[in-house]
């Protein structure tokens, strides 16, 4: 069961909507067509608003139709109704396209668009791209849903992607996303055999699981959220294997605390490692490289390079390839670092993100090796 919302948009000659009489004429034309699709439709409110008018209609089974007429030549029609799973839709996408075509003809619109019905008031099916475009997923079940002290954690099932980890309502990784982990670690390009590695974050266990296949000397995974690991250990076995079962193995250890605490201990001990992976938050989407998230990211970078060997590398994910401004701001931060660093970028299409993602490989200047 869910609430379905049908959105239809029209543009037309502004002169036809420039006064109250013109808006009334256009509305009457729309109402004539709407009554063919929504039974028992009645006008219940006619509201004059700044820049136009708003008409509210009610229909069979509590259906609500709002028609917004803008004096600048725009018209929006929103149809909302409740639907049980076993019921046929009041208006399907196919019938909505026919309705759009008929309305466009009646009001002589210049352009029009009918959007696929949005299904609301049920478990999340919609998540954004990095540049805030709305994506609908074929999610049919919520397997895990819990608020930890740090974030909202969900694992949902997608028909095409398998199980997917969602953190604070943002898609994080799915069973179909091996390309994400392999691009982050630059599999086939980097040699991890016999190396010491630190993972900052990585609570889903996917990176640790894949790195251990490369025969490293030792891997420290520093994850603050116990609940993420508990959920992924149960529902994301295909990407993390059994590495989250035991917090310590012959060549790895999972330390559950703020990663900066462990990094500072390494600094005090004078420990240096070969690779550090930043598998924490993405590069923030913002207008300027300031604020709490940027400060956190810069502090992580500065601290990480203090425990990195001069021949080592810092590997991290960035953001969506369309988030150009944020990526450029991150690169400006890298170019200001002391000691100086150089960076390379890799791009990969991540299935659960439905977009290209940018990954960074950063090393001390003068010691970078392709």
Q: Which residues are catalytic?
A: 279
Which residues does 30 contact at the CB level (< 8 Å), separation at least 6? Answer: 67, 75, 77, 103, 106, 107
DSSP string of 124-170, one letter each residue: --EEE-TT--EEE--EEEEEEEEE-SS-EEEEEEETTTEEEEEETTE
What are the structure tokens assigned to 147, written together? 């608020």
What are the structure tokens assigned to 211, written together? 């790195």
* Nearest CA-CA partner of 237 in 206, 258, 195: 206
* Nearest CA-CA partner of 250 in 295, 219, 221: 219
Placement of tokens 């993602």 in the chain? 357
For residue 241, the SS3 value is coil
In DSSP terms, 66 is beta-bridged to 56, 78
Pairing assessment for the beta strands 162-167 and 170-174 based on DSSP bridges: antiparallel
* Nearest CA-CA partner of 351 in 157, 163, 173: 173
Cβ(196)–Cβ(251) below 8 Å: no
Placement of tokens 């959920």 in the chain? 231
């Amino acid at each position: 069961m869910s609430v379905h919302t049908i959105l239809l948009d029209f543009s037309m000659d502004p002169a036809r909507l420039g006064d109250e009489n013109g808006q009334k004429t256009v509305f009457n034309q729309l109402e004539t067509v709407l009554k063919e699709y929504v039974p028992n439709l009645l006008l219940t409110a006619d509201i004059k608003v700044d820049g136009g008018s708003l008409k509210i209609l009610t229909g069979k089974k509590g259906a609500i139709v709002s028609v917004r007429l803008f004096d600048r030549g725009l018209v929006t029609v929103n149809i909302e109704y409740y639907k049980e799973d076993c019921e046929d839709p009041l208006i399907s996408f196919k019938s909505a396209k026919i309705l759009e075509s008929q309305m466009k003809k009646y009001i002589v619109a210049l352009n029009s668009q009918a959007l696929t019905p949005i299904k609301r008031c049920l478990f999340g099916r919609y998540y954004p791209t990095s540049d805030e475009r709305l994506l609908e997923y074929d999610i049919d079940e919520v397997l895990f849903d819990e608020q930890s002290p740090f974030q909202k954690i969900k694992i949902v099932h997608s028909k095409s992607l398998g199980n997917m980890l969602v953190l604070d309502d943002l898609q994080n990784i799915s069973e179909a996303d091996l390309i994400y982990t392999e691009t982050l670690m630059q599999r086939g390009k980097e040699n991890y055999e016999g190396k010491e590695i630190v993972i900052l974050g990585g609570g889903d266990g996917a990176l640790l699981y894949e790195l251990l296949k490369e025969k490293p000397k030792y891997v420290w995974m520093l994850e603050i959220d116990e609940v993420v690991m508990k959920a992924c250990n149960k529902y994301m076995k295909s990407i993390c294997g059994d590495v989250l079962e035991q917090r310590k193995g012959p060549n790895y250890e999972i330390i559950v605390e703020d990663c900066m605490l462990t990094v500072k201990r390494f600094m005090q001990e004078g420990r240096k490692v070969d690779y550090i992976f930043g598998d924490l938050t993405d590069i923030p989407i913002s207008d300027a490289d300031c604020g709490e998230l940027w400060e956190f990211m810069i502090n992580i970078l500065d601290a990480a390079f203090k425990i990195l060997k001069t021949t080592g590398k810092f590997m991290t994910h960035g953001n969506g390839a369309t988030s150009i401004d944020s990526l450029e701001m991150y690169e400006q931060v890298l170019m200001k670092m002391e000691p100086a660093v150089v960076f390379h970028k890799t791009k990969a299409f991540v299935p659960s993100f439905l977009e290209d993602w940018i990954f960074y490989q950063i090393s001390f200047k003068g010691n970078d090796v392709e």
